[in-house]
Amino acid sequence: MNHQSTHQSSAWGEAVRLLLDHPWRWLLPTVLCGGLAVAYAAVMPRYWEASQGMVVRQEAVANVDRRPGQFADLYEMRTLQETILELAKSRQVVETTLSRVDAQLKGVTTTAPDDEAIEEFRKHLKMLPPNGAEFGKTEVFYFLVKDRDRQRAIALVSELCRQLESRLQELREARGRSLTVELEEQLKLAEQQHAAESAALEKFETSIGADLGELRLLHSANSGQSELRLQVVAMENESRRYETQIRDSDELLRLLKAAESKPEQIVAVPSALLASQPALSRLKSGLIDARLATARLRGTRSEDHPRVQAAVEAEQRIRRDLHRELAAAIRNAEADRTLAEERLAAVASELAEVNARLESLAEQRAIYSNYVAAVASSRETLNRAQQKLSAARATMSSAHSTSLVTTLDKPETGPNPEGPGRSTVAAAGVVGGFMLGLGVLVLTAGPLPFGAPATGQRRSQEEFDQQDPQREPVVAVRLAPQESSRASRPEWWESQAPALNGAQPKQAPQPAKGQPSPRPATVVMQPPVEAPSPRSAELHEAAPQAPAASDEPTVVAPAPAPAP
């Protein structure tokens, strides 16, 4: 540890000595760089950065299905913010902003700024989202303006926001006016198309006539039974009733004709068939009652009993009346049958006519549906055009009364100008010049004596090569015994060994003139000798004895250096 600290102190002393021996090699770059840095720090511009926060929203008339002022998606908001940025960098906004600020600060009307001033303002203008967010992902953004004067920077960003708001209102008005003209033409075309489709539908409905209501009912999907359909159902029911009446009349005629030859069969005629013949029905009932009364009297009295004979006479009289009534009933039944046939024919004719009307309406239903769909489509187009025109007119009328951007608080700047200060720049120049001087000193006077001190341990071959680059590489080295190493050292050993410990090497003796110079042997470092342990002593005694080494150190010839 003491040896290492001694080496470090000597290295620092050597470094100080080098600095004192060659002062101009490091002092001149330090003075030059420091002077340049001080001069630049004295004349360099210091910019103040003023910021103004703003909030953007969407037009209320554009949000039909959403909350007023809300964007449909992030792409729409990003598009509007990019439009605002381009407006802020437009020549009209920049010229007006610079002219107003110069007139406000100087108190006199100035000329229009030149192209260089406009380009410099654009270079110092930035539009950033808050807290490092991605541009277009938030409704809040900040305008940043740099200027050498703090008050002018604040005035520039404030006037820029006012001019931007005014220019954005003018842009909205111009866009609304252009949209209004375009939508008015679109509305006019939609009205003409709707009028043409309506006229075609009106002409077709006129050709339908009285069945227009039925056609509309057929066209409507949610309509019930139409009048014609109800008439068809009623006629079909009436036709079936007349057909039943005709069949009943035929059956009644067959039974009446059979009963005319055999009056006893009148009893077998169903009462339903006699519903149209009330007199015949009553005679049938009277005949049945007379027969029952005669049968009861015959059961209790003889045939000669006057009451029995009176009952038989009454029965015979009813039979004669019934026979006469059968002829009239047959004529009535034939008349009913004829009337039913005529009514059936009339109903069938009307039913055929109604069915024909329904078939005609069914054929015209598709054409009518096309006309109705065309009118509905033209009406929808007309409604959309009217809505768009109303929105464009609302945008144009509200362009100067509302604003899509709103400022947040007042513009502000930081406590100090942007970038490093003048003293920082000057100090950095001095430090940089001093480092440059150290580099020049190292390149011209050699490396500074800073390095690891020599320890008692064996050094590697790479360390020897670094200290003596002209040495030839060693192929192999056999260490000599420690007892005879010091006695067998050559003369040049004392000249090479001190250099390994940081001391000045001694010069080796020069050979006589005419004699070959001795070739330097490879330096062999002896490791520190430690006392052997008892275990190692026992192993040493058990091991076979190696041949004694000679007093002279054994040195292997260095390998030849590779050809360049």
Find the range with the poorest average confidence among 50-59, 492-501, 509-518. Answer: 492-501
Mean pLDDT on 404-414: 86
Q: Using the predicted structure, report yes or no on whether residue 485 has a pLDDT greater than 70.
A: no
Burial (0-12, 13-18, 19+ Cβ within 10 Å), 536: exposed
Q: What is the C-alpha to C-alpha distance for residues 160 and 553, in angstroms, rounded to an integer?
A: 91
What pLDDT sits at residue 563?
A: 46
Residue with tokens 């049958």: 337
For 280-334, the pLDDT digits (tens) are: 666 666 666 666 777 777 777 777 777 777 777 777 676 666 666 677 777 777 8
DSSP classification of residue 276: G
Residues 461, 464, 466, 467, Cα dihedral to 10°: 180
Mean pLDDT on 325-345: 80
- Band (276; pLDDT cuts 50, 70, 90): low
**Whether 201 contacts 216, CB under 8 Å:** no
The two three-digit tokens of residue 156, written as one number: 């520039």
- Would you call 137 helix, strand, or coil by DSSP? coil
The two three-digit tokens of residue 46, written as one number: 């210091």
Q: What is the C-alpha to C-alpha distance for residues 451 and 167, in angstroms, rounded to an integer?
A: 70
Closest CA to 402 of 73, 61, 78: 61
The sheet carrying 140-147 orders its strands as 125-128, 140-147, 48-56, 405-413
Buried b (16+ CB within 10 A) or exposed e, 382-410: beebeebbebbbebbebbeeebbbebeee
Closest CA to 216 of 372, 97, 95: 372
Mean pLDDT on 130-141: 83
The two three-digit tokens of residue 38, written as one number: 């001080």
Is the pLDDT higher at 18 or at 554? Answer: 18
Cα angle 403, 409, 411 (rounded to 5 degrees) comes to: 100
For 140-197, the pLDDT digits (tens) are: 999 999 988 899 999 999 999 999 999 998 888 888 888 899 999 999 999 999 999 9
Q: Using the predicted structure, report yes or no on whether residue 466 has a pLDDT greater than 80.
A: no
Query: Could you tell me if residue 419 is left (phi over 0), alpha (psi between -120 and 50 degrees) or otherwise beta?
Result: left
What pLDDT sits at residue 8?
A: 65
Q: What is the C-alpha to C-alpha distance for residues 251 and 275, in angstroms, rounded to an integer?
A: 13
Distances from the Cα of 214 to the Cα of 219, 350, 368, angstroms: 9, 17, 12
Closest CA to 366 of 219, 214, 211, 209: 219
**Whether 374 contacts 190, CB under 8 Å:** no
Buried b (16+ CB within 10 A) or exposed e, 276-306: bbeebbebbebbeebbebbeebeeeeeeeee
Please give the model's pTM, rounded to 2 decimal places: 0.51
Q: Using the predicted structure, report yes or no on whether residue 517 has a pLDDT greater than 70.
A: no
The two three-digit tokens of residue 384, written as one number: 């959309």
- Band (6; pLDDT cuts 50, 70, 90): low
Q: What is the C-alpha to C-alpha distance for residues 33 and 40, in angstroms, rounded to an integer?
A: 10
Closest CA to 152 of 92, 102, 88, 107: 102
Is the pLDDT higher at 380 or at 521? Answer: 380
Compute the mean pLDDT over every residue in the chain, rounded to the nearest whole number.
74
- Would you call 128 helix, strand, or coil by DSSP? strand
What pLDDT sits at residue 279?
A: 62
DSSP classification of residue 449: S
Is the pLDDT higher at 187 or at 226? Answer: 187
